[in-house]
Amino acid sequence: MSPFFTVRTLLIGALIVFLALLPVYVVATGQFFPLTLFTRIVILALAATSLNLILGYGGMVSFGHAAYLGVGAYVIGILSKEGITSGFAQWPLALAVCALFALVVGALCLRTRGVYFIMITLAFAQMIYYVAVGLDRYGGDDGLIIYRRSQFAGLIDLSGKVQFYYLCLVLLFAAIWLVSRLANSRFGMVIQGGRSNDRRMRAIGFPIFRYRLAGFVIAGMMCGLAGVLLANHTDFISPAVMHWTRSGDLIVMIVLGGIGSLFGPLIGAVTLLMLEEGLSRVTEYWQIIVGPLLLFIVVYAHGGIDGILASLRRG
Amino acid sequence: MLQIRDLTKRFGGVLASDGISLDVPVGELHAIIGPNGAGKSTLVGQLAGEISPDNGRIFFNGRDMTRLPTHRRSELGLARSFQITCLFLDFTVLDNVALAVQAHAGHSFRLWRPARNDKELRGPARAALARVGLESRADVICANLSHGEHRQLEIAMALATVPRMLVLDEPMAGMGPEESARMIALLGELKAEQTILLIEHDMDAVFRLADRITVLVDGRVIASGTPDDIRADAEVRQAYLGGHEARRHG
């Protein structure tokens, strides 16, 4: 067994403590901007974590994962516009719609491999994007303002910035925990075996398709949850939520943080969005810096930032 | 146990399987030999369900499995090893075999309990590794094994599925003489427990191990019989064994 206190575990621990204590700082200083920023980071980290389940562990490079972000967000937006603001109705329905969407998309896409899989997942995401653009009643291209966040009968007030942040954070850690359990279960071994050697999986007797599909649906629902949170966070939905570049961002987060690493998506989301935030103040061409960084990671560190941390010796 | 009837597969203008018929009764070690391009790999592909035949039937335990998908054949008890090593290279050796055990231990929609602590999987996996002499390498990452060890692991993976029949595709491919000798000894032991279809280039191994031999040339069965029959067969000598091989074994 590797020692518990490595550079990696210490840094990840520090990140967790930082995320957990951020509201204390914010409340003490009265500066709420960092909380808004980090709520967004946490939500997108949740989306990236869900993608990591299929992309990192399962080797299924979905290039349309932001579609679930969009579907989750739109269910909230549409229901709210139609006067249904109860979270007890909105949230389960959003997750159910995402599950159904993932089931249909997965059932078709998972019959293909490699570049075809990437392209067909992208195609489905674009399709749903243009469906959203065409929804005139719900703002079409311009999007839709959500006037009331999901109501939970006084149980939790999503309009309270700190409460909402903690809800997102708890859901993120729950998702990371869930992914960790899944990845190490029998189910996870099948998913990872499929990434490693599809042919052998069939030869030893696994009907791999149904396991992949299940993973695809779980990831879709988890990302849908991120969409639900995002809609409540921004009080606004628009097709931009599921633009294909957003799917690309999610992949970039995973690659940066570490493909198939439990905390990789979180590390990647924090890194990418902090870089975006910091650098865009300096120059509007902030991607000029992020691009080479990504290139460096891809070429020299396949394990992403988490992989670099893991390779560092203690002290 | 295995019956192949009139199996035919055409790739463009090439008849890779030309009306192959074959019977392997329970307990037999049946070897298939033939020069490169004789259609041995195509035959294995059709048995495994990776290649779909144009014509003919494959029966396993009396059941027609000509159109069954690969994983169903494994479930029915037909295990195969690969000529070119086909393993989970980023897994440990034990994880490789445990996954093969898991494939035959009920469904895998078990989402919560860690599979790596599961005695139900680990125990049989270790036993399969011990069977092929790899138990000391259980925790090594598969990619770090030697070629010979990969070949052993191939066999362990097949055994871990508790098969009723093994189809071994050139288990000695690329092995040195010492490794080959060890593999021959292992196959000799397995022969007592398993029905085996052995596709092999190594003539020493084939003539030492096989109960019966089928010779494949240009997708056709040109001879089938005991090793002695095959040695004596004039057509085989001419078409395949050649002067040198025939003298050595005859």
Summarised one tens digit per residue, pLDDT across range B63-98 is 999 999 999 999 999 999 999 889 999 999 999 999
- A184 with B69: Cβ contact below 8 A: no
Query: Pick from B48, B91, B114: which is nearest to A203 by CB?
Result: B48
Q: Report chain A residues whose CB lies below 8 A from the CB of B116.
A: 184
Residue B157 lies in a domain: yes
Note whether B172 and B250 are same-domain residues. yes
Instruction: Write the CA distances from A19 to A227, A278, A281, B124, integer angstroms.
Output: 20, 18, 23, 44
- B88 with A184: Cβ contact below 8 A: no
How many pairs of residues across A and B have Cβ atoms under 8 Å apart? 96
- A204 with B115: Cβ contact below 8 A: no
CATH code at position B182:
3.40.50.300
Residue B201 lies in a domain: yes
pLDDT tens digits, A169-212: 999 999 999 999 999 999 999 999 999 999 999 999 999 999 99
Query: Pick from B114, B121, B161: which is nearest to A205 by CB?
Result: B161
**Complex confidence, ipTM:** 0.88
Please report which confidence band the pLDDT of residue A3 belongs to, taking 50, 70 and 90 as the band edges. Answer: low
Note whether B188 and B200 are same-domain residues. yes
Note whether B137 and B152 are same-domain residues. yes
- A193 with B111: Cβ contact below 8 A: no
CATH of domain A7-311: 1.10.3470
Q: What distance in Å separates the CA atoms of residue A88 and residue A290, rounded to the nearest whole number? A: 40
Chain B residue with CA closest to A195: the answer is B88
Residue ranges of chain B whose CB lies within 8 Å of a chain A CB: 48-50, 69-72, 74-75, 79-80, 82, 86-91, 95, 98-100, 102-104, 108-116, 118, 121, 157, 160-161
Residue B82 lies in a domain: no
Nearest to A122 by CA among A247, A235, A26, A237: A247
Residue B131 lies in a domain: yes
Instruction: Give the residue-averaged pLDDT of B224-245.
Output: 77
* Partners of residue B197 on adjacent β-strands: B30, B167
Note whether B48 and B112 are same-domain residues. no
Note whether B188 and B250 are same-domain residues. yes
pLDDT score of A139 more than 60: yes
The two structure tokens encoding residue B221:
């069965």
Residue B220 lies in a domain: yes
Last residue of a domain, one of B98, B133, B162: B162
- B112 with A181: Cβ contact below 8 A: yes
Residue with the bigger pLDDT between B202 and A43: it is A43
Please report which confidence band the pLDDT of residue B243 belongs to, taking 50, 70 and 90 as the band edges. Answer: very low
Note whether B148 and B176 are same-domain residues. no
Q: What distance in Å separates the CA atoms of residue B153 and residue A267, rounded to the nearest whole number? A: 37
Residue A217: per-residue pLDDT: 98
- B118 with A211: Cβ contact below 8 A: no
The range of the structural domain enclosing residue B186 comes to 1-77+163-250
Q: What is the mean pLDDT of chain A?
A: 94
Number of structural domains (chain B) is: 2
- B115 with A188: Cβ contact below 8 A: yes
When scoring B72, B88, B169 by the number of chain A Cβ atoms within 10 A, the one with the most, hence best to mutate, is B88
Q: What distance in Å separates the CA atoms of residue B48 and residue B79, rounded to the nearest whole number? A: 8
Q: Report chain B residues whose CB lies below 8 A from the CB of A190.
A: 99, 102, 108
Instruction: Give the residue-averaged pLDDT of B196-212.
Output: 91
Note whether B170 and B246 are same-domain residues. yes
Note whether B216 and B143 are same-domain residues. no
Please report which confidence band the pLDDT of residue B201 belongs to, taking 50, 70 and 90 as the band edges. Answer: confident
Note whether B93 and B132 are same-domain residues. yes
Residue A313: per-residue pLDDT: 62
Q: Tell me the shortest Cα–Cα distance from A210 to chain B, in angstroms.
A: 10
Residue B37: per-residue pLDDT: 84
For the ranges A121-125, A133-137, A226-230, B215-219, the lowest mean pLDDT is seen at B215-219
Instruction: Give the residue-averaged pLDDT of A237-259.
Output: 95
Note whether B110 and B193 are same-domain residues. no
Nearest to B60 by CA among B70, B42, B73, B44: B73
Note whether B108 and B50 are same-domain residues. no
Note whether B6 and B57 are same-domain residues. yes
